[in-house]
Amino acid sequence: KQEVTQIPAALSVPEGENLVLNCSFTDSAIYNLQWFRQDPGKGLTSLLLIQSSQREQTSGRLNASLDKSSGRSTLYIAASQPGDSATYLCAASSGGSYIPTFGRGTSLIVHP
Amino acid sequence: DVKVTQSSRYLVKRTGEKVFLECVQDMDHENMFWYRQDPGLGLRLIYFSYDVKMKEKGDIPEGYSVSREKKERFSLILESASTNQTSMYLCASSQSYGYTFGSGTRLTVV
């Protein structure tokens, strides 16, 4: 059974820092991996989706990488801003199932 | 822009009431899902559906049922609401390109 872990659970950084959020998964036979952002009291917003054949995806200041052999994905946020403060979740789909396994998320605070 | 719409952002219901949470997607997705999210427990899958009139139990189906009469609509039903069903409920749909979530319904049962 797939297990997804996100470390750290919480992170506080000053504005302008480049930062990396980590996501690890136990079953390397993943179909895809998706990163989401969740603001307090809101739903999840999709940020990036990496298919199993891809190594990375980029959108603006965000870059997500996928290393299936090591069971890891990272979300890189460049030049962080206070508006980036949110919880970031990753989700891995594996074993031919379209039902992903979610991590518990990393709560990010970017302070001015 | 593609959308998953949940009919209510906030709901307050009384213990024992029958509660309907509605979810509509405009992406012609086959698969639809209901999750609940609680602090410290993460996202937990309640029910999902991979086709009209089809439904499958997720990890925590007890106390819930679902209905999918049309492809675009997936309803979550709390047969007799209880206080331990106070939670954030999230609907999602998917096809090959990952999940799209609705904005969530914060349900409080008093």
pLDDT (tens digit, 9 = 90+) per residue, B2-11? 699 998 999 9
Q: Over the stretch B46-93, which tens digit does the pLDDT of each residue have?
A: 999 999 989 999 999 999 999 999 999 999 999 999 999 999 999 999
Sign of the alpha-carbon dihedral angle for A28, A74, A98, A88? positive
- Secondary structure (3-state) at A6: strand
Average pLDDT over residues A16-33: 93
**Closest residue in A to B4 (Cα–Cα):** A43
Q: In angstroms, what separates the C-alpha of A111 from chain B's closest C-alpha?
A: 23
Q: State the Cα–Cα distance between residues A7 and A38, nearest whole angstrom.
A: 16
Residue A28 has pLDDT above 90, yes or no: no
Q: What share of chain A in percent tops pLDDT 70?
A: 97
Mean pLDDT along residues A62-83: 96
Work out the average pLDDT over B92-110.
91
d(CA B25, CA B71): 9
In the predicted structure, residue A61 carries a pLDDT above the cut 70: yes
| pLDDT value at residue B40 | 85
Of A34, A41, A99, the CB nearest to B98: A34
Whether residue B48 and residue A32 make contact (CB cut-off 8 A), yes or no, is no
